[in-house]
Amino acid sequence: MPRCWLSIGSNQDREASIRGAVADLRSAFGDLVLSQVYETPAVGFTGTPFLNLVVGIETPLSVARIDAMLRAIEDALGRVRGPDRFAPRTLDIDLLTYGDAVGTCDGRTFPRDEIHRYAFVLGPLAEVAPQEVCPGGLATFAELWAVLSRGAPPLVPFPLDLSGQSVA
């Protein structure tokens, strides 16, 4: 079964949205690997800081099926989709990797470029899978983080109790 990494972020009803997402993901996929939760500034717009984390799942499901499940979880927890990509949101769940897939699969490109661009994605990913090589690359997530973290805003751990969940 492929290991998949997901990023989760929320800046509206943050704690309830993150807790709900983790509970729904556990219900859908079983055991999870969870990074710490971090509070980070909004990127691309002025707004309430986000809570972010990375979640690892193992599943035999297709990318299309996983994507549909993630959209359903977002919708159930109040996600409103608008034309602006950079806007406040209750919940954003993105499929970052699908096993070792590189390129386009079911209309999604892997690995997602957010891994290389955003500290709030790569930092938690390096925390839970430091020795894993980023698909299609030669560097581990920890090695990529060592480079990106030099110019990135600090990741501030946020004390959010995700009881009942597996934590890395």
Domains contained in the chain, CATH given: 3-111 (3.30.70.560)
pLDDT at res. 74: 93
Q: Decide if 81 is catalytic.
A: no
Catalytic residue (one of 94, 100, 106, 108): 94
Dist. CA 117–CA 115, nearest whole Å: 6
Burial 92-106 (b: 16+ CB within 10 A, else e): bbbbbbbeebeeeee
pLDDT at res. 83: 64
Q: How many other CB atoms are found less than 10 A from the CB of residue 1? A: 9
Catalytic residue (one of 14, 26, 79, 112): 79
Q: Decide if 79 is catalytic.
A: yes
pTM: 0.91
Maximum CA pair distance of the chain? 40
pLDDT at res. 164: 60
pLDDT per residue rounded down to tens, the chain (168 residues): 999 999 999 999 999 999 999 999 999 999 999 999 999 988 877 789 999 999 999 999 999 999 999 999 999 998 776 666 665 678 999 999 999 999 999 999 999 999 999 999 999 999 999 999 999 999 999 999 999 999 888 899 999 988 664 444
Kindly state the tokens that stand for 69: 């499940």
Q: Decide if 31 is catalytic.
A: no
Q: Are 50 and 120 in contact (CB under 8 A)?
A: yes
Kindly state the tokens that stand for 153: 């805003």
Catalytic residue (one of 19, 26, 89, 112): 89
Dist. CA 132–CA 141, nearest whole Å: 6
Which residues contact residue 122 at a Cβ distance below 8 angstroms, ignoring those fewer than 6 apart?
Answer: 115, 116, 141, 144, 145, 148, 149
Q: Decide if 89 is catalytic.
A: yes
Catalytic residue (one of 13, 92, 100, 106): 92
